[in-house]
Structure 1
Amino acid sequence: MKLLDTKKKNNVLKSMIRILGENRSELLGANKEDLDLFKRDDQAMYDRLVIDEAKIDGMIASVQSVMEQEDPVGKVISDREVHDGLKVINKTAPFGTIMIIYESRPDVTIEAAVLAFKANNKILLKGGKEAKHSNAMLVDFWHRALTENGLDKDWIQLMNMSREETQEFLKNPTQPLDLIVPRGGERLINFVKEHAECAVLVSGRGNNFLFIDEHADWDKTKQVILNAKTHKISACNALDKILVHSEFPEYEAKLKELHSFLKENGVEVLTDQRTNKILPETEVVTDESVWYEEFLAMKCVIGTVDSVDEAMDKINKYSGGHSATIMSDDQQKAVQFMEQVDSAAVYQNASTRFTDGGSMGVGAELAISTDKLHHRGPLGLNELVTNKYYVYGDGHVRA
């Protein structure tokens, strides 16, 4: 694959910023077509589908942010001499061609493409059919920007394929394919992992937990829970499960207060059998699968545990490995929790809603990876490169 110089890539991004700004009404019109066709039986997906002026401003800001970041390609990772002067340099290098499969969110068409392109990768965008017109318009904008700067349109491609066609493409790609990122629910991830023949980097489900330790500040805890649960229910970093230490001061009274607080804010509360004895008006969880579920709705489960160890065991068993919070002023216990909970992001006294590229200082993100190879957490610009060794000799042979 041809390496583009930084100036050329940034010129494309400058063009894209201008095109997005000048063609707002065109994009809003395409999005309206998608919204008119969408049956609003899934509020979370509908929310992700909407483009408005603020969303367009966000798209422009994402492109601007990536344009201003340092080029991630060709950075020296290590430089050493071995074996009588043999020079070995390890540098960052593009993956090649990345495919992202995602549902509903048209802004992914901007963030995924800008990150992949700045990192000198081609990107294949397989968006959901619900965002068909919006994605087509955004990719048309990208093609205008590429053409203005003398580059082929195939740097950024929109894949309009049915489920069956996608399955066949994953098994037998018609062009080189180096990495696939499925960004969506459990069914999508399993579908891609089952059929793909190349590396898959999983952007996993949320199902995030918050543990209220016996040493938590109650007022801070309520505000963190409210933000994590209700700020944006369609996000993968939203809160789903709350575990309460049985020795929290005024445990029964605080459980009742938490239930009332959540109910007042429109959140349906489910409970485990132990908590249900104190909150008998709530629905008790009898099916273990609910503990694995990412709700993407105004709903949560409250459970009771007797120790931080029990909380960590439960989180590591049921969570999606995305984000987990401990509410505690006991620093030693917080460190124990954060070191032993197996999630991409672990928090002390803070909302899980901060798990995204912008909030964590990464900038635009391709996805939140819950894999451990090659990166966990927000996939930003610097995570969309691999590495390559450059070895310089002078007739060196190995004895």
Structure 2
Amino acid sequence: MILTTEQKNQVLKDLASLIAGNSDDIIAQNKLDLDKAGDLDLTLVDRLKVDEKKVQGMVSAVEEVIDLEDPQGVVLSQYDHPNGMKVENRVVPFGKILIIYESRPDVTIEAAISAFKAGNKIMLKGGKEARNSNLFLVKLWKEALSKNGIAEDFVTYLDIDRTETQRLLADNPYNLDLIIPRGGDGLINYIRTNTAVPLIISGRGNNFIYVHENADLDKALNLILNGKSRLSVCNAIDKVLFNKNIAGLDEWMAKVITAAQAMELVIHGDGEYFSQFNNVTSMKEKSMYAEEFLSADILFGIVDTMDEAIVKINQYSGGHSGVIVSSDKESAVQFQNEVDCAAVYHNASSRFTDGGQFGFGAEIAISTQKLHFRGPVGLGQLVTNKWFISGDGQIR
């Protein structure tokens, strides 16, 4: 069934109304999940919790996607063959997309709406910790589809256990065209090694800021602190590299450490330099550079040059976001060209790596791979292309 843009938008309008009208019930179902959370990690609890602000965020995300251009059917190129054939390359949906995710019930809405407007059928497999929230939100999805006379199987929730999930990945009984895993390294690596279905990897963060020797230090401090303004998100900052030639480094570093401590951050220092500061824990293992913290931890390091910073970022980061704080364009251009991340910033916060902030509306993931897309993934990336050729009996 091929849906028109008008049909898709009407489903989304009805979905937004249903979410807004059932806010109390959504929060009540989420409370059932929170009550069962037990000793779940605090960052996962933050992702699991749904309050009025998150409900409104879901509604806003739906409304934003309604306003976005529908990519389905767009002609990318056309060619009139000398023999009279008309050759067109058009945008088409992937087909059937499975989204596997942990903790975040809002993914049930915000990721699925992008896939839906791009013309795909969506299968959702959320974590057991969010089961009540997810089932209720999918119920609203099905009400919106049914109200418009559209098959409810456009959005399907897989309420299955681990064994069935393993079979799903290995055997692909639903003929999936694409899987998008959203979660930690353990989930992503497990799916990668247990399925032959193509993936878009929504990879880990582990993002770095490099403070160049000529940086505006007020800007640098604000960017470091803003990078840790939320701990459980993949666009948070985990590592900060400081150029050793920053004027007045010792005095300013004390200011940075005081501000970080005021935010209750746990500061780890790489090297002897940081032993002069109180309440900075010495980094135990180099492997810490490769960790995505998703916590109040932050690691500070000193580098001799920008080139050293670039090498270290490319060695250890998750390929998500990198930031340079610098007062000259030349160093920024080199950094942005040579740092191998999906998003590279000059004098701006990594917290902007987000589909909504990039003008996509709701995002389905932030891809840290290079095929078939990189960075925030919205409905414009949840498509592929297909050749349409019309002739009148031509043979070769």
- TM-score tier, shorter chain, comes to over 0.9
| Secondary structure of 1:342 counterpart | coil
Q: In the TM superposition, what is the alpha-carbon distance from 1:20 to its structure 2 partner?
A: 1.1
SS at match of 1:337: helix
- Aligned partners of 2:206 and 2:320 also within 8 Å: yes
Query: Where does residue 273 of structure 2 map in the other structure?
Result: 275
1:51 corresponds to: 50
Moved over 6 A (4+): none
Q: Kindly report which structure 2 residues correspond to 1:76-115, keeping only aligned pairs within 5 A, or say none.
A: 76-115=75-114
| Contact 2:204/2:292 (8 A) holds in 1 | yes
One-letter amino acid matched to 1:321? G
Alignment deviations for residues 176-198 of structure 1 (CA, whole Å, 9 cap, x no partner): 10000111111011011011121
Contact persistence 2:267–2:279 (CA under 8 A): no
Query: How many residues align structurally?
Result: 396
Gaps of 5+ in 2: none
**How many percent of aligned residue pairs carry the same amino acid?**
46
- Report deviation, 1:166: 1.1
**What is the match of residue 333 of structure 1?**
331
Q: Counterparts of 1:12-27 in structure 2 under 5 Å?
A: 12-27=11-26
2:277 matches 1:298: no
The answer to whether the 8 Å contact 1:324/1:352 transfers is yes
CA distance in 1, matches of 2:107, 2:129: 14
The unaligned stretches of length 5 or more in structure 1 are none
Instruction: Give, in whole Å, the separation in 2 of the partners of 1:104 and 1:176.
Output: 26
Once the two structures are superposed, what CA deviation does each residue of 1:345-378 show, in whole Å capped at 9, x if it has no partner?
0001111100001111111000111111111111
Distance 1:164 1:300 in 2: 37
How far apart, in 2, do the equivalents of 1:121 and 1:274 lie? Answer: 54
Once the two structures are TM-superposed, the CA of residue 284 in structure 1 deviates from its matched residue by 1.9
Q: Deviations over 1:131-163 (max 9, x none)?
A: 100000000000111111112211101111222
Which amino acid in 2 is paired with 1:315?
A: I
CA distance, structure 1, for counterparts of residue 193 and residue 146 of structure 2: 37
Check conservation: 1:274, 1:303, Cα contact below 8 A: no
Contact 1:275 1:302 in 2 (8 A): no
- What is the identity, as a one-letter code, of the residue corresponding to 1:363? G
1:248 aligned counterpart, secondary structure = coil
Q: Which residue in 1 is equivalent to 2:199?
A: 200
Distance of 1:83 and 1:277 partners within structure 2: 75
**Deviation digits for residues 260-291 of structure 1 (CA, Å, limit 9, x no counterpart):** 22112211100112433443752222322211
Deviation at 1:224, TM superposition (A): 1.0
After the TM superposition, which of the residue ranges 185-194 and 35-44 deviates more from structure 2? 35-44
Q: Secondary structure at the match of 1:353?
A: helix
Report the 3-state secondary structure (helix = DSSP H, G, I; strand = E; otherwise coil) of the residue aligned with 1:80. strand
CA distance in 1, matches of 2:82, 2:184: 50
Write out aligned runs for 1:115-126 (5 A). 115-126=114-125
Q: Tell me if 1:183 matches 2:198.
A: no
Task: Show the counterpart of 1:239.
Answer: 237
Structure 1 counterpart of 2:160: 161
Q: Tell me the amino acid that sits aligned with residue 303 of structure 2.
A: V
Counterpart code for 2:28: G
Between the aligned partners of 2:144 and 2:273, the Cα distance in structure 1 is 57
Q: Which amino acid aligns with 2:393?
A: G
Which residue of 338, 361, 364 maps to 1:363? 361
* Cα distance, 1:280–1:22 mapped onto 2, change above 3 Å: closer
Q: Distance in 1 between matches of 2:301 and 2:385?
A: 45
Mapped to 2, the partners of 1:45 and 1:277 lie a distance apart of 33
1:397 shift after superposition: 3.1
> Partner letter of residue 25 of structure 1?
D
Q: Distance in 1 between matches of 2:262 and 2:206?
A: 22
Residues 115 and 366, structure 1, Cα contact 8 Å, conserved in 2: yes
Q: Which amino acid aligns with 1:260?
A: T
Alignment check: 8 A CA contact 2:48 2:105 kept? yes
Q: Using the TM superposition, give the Cα deviation of residue 206 of structure 1 relative to its aligned residue in structure 2, in angstroms.
A: 0.3
Aligned residues of 1:212 and 1:244 also touching (Cα < 8 A): yes
CA distance in 2 between counterparts of 1:240 and 1:177 reads 35
1:83 shift after superposition: 4.5
Shift of 1:54: 1.2
| Cα distance in 2, alignment partners of residues 221 and 326 from structure 1 | 9
Q: How far is 1:41 from its partner? A: 4.3
Residue by residue over 1:102-154, the C-alpha shift from the partner in whole angstroms, topping out at 9 and shown as x without a partner, is 11111100012211111111111111111100000000000111111112211
Give secondary structure in 2 for the equivalent of 1:356: coil
Alignment root-mean-square deviation, CA: 1.3
Assess, with a 3 A threshold, how the Cα gap between structure 1 residues 330 and 145 changes in structure 2: closer, same or farther: same
Matches of 2:272 and 2:81, distance apart in 1: 63
CA-CA distance at 1:394 after TM superposition: 3.3
CA distance in 1, matches of 2:40, 2:183: 18
Structure 1 counterpart of 2:183, one-letter code: G
What code does the residue aligned with 1:145 have? A
User: Which SS does the other structure have where 1:224 is aligned?
Assistant: helix
1:244–1:303 contact (8 Å) kept in structure 2: yes
Q: Distance in 1 between matches of 2:316 and 2:353?
A: 19
Task: Determine the C-alpha separation between the residues in 2 that align with 1:217 and 1:299.
Answer: 24
- Answer yes or no: is 1:310 the counterpart of 2:289: no
Aligned residue identity for 1:95:
F
Aligned position for 2:210: 211
Map 1:219-234 onto structure 2 (within 5 A).
219-229=218-228, 231-234=229-232
1:284 aligns with 2:282: yes
SS of equivalent to 2:364: coil
Distance 1:160 1:279 in 2: 51
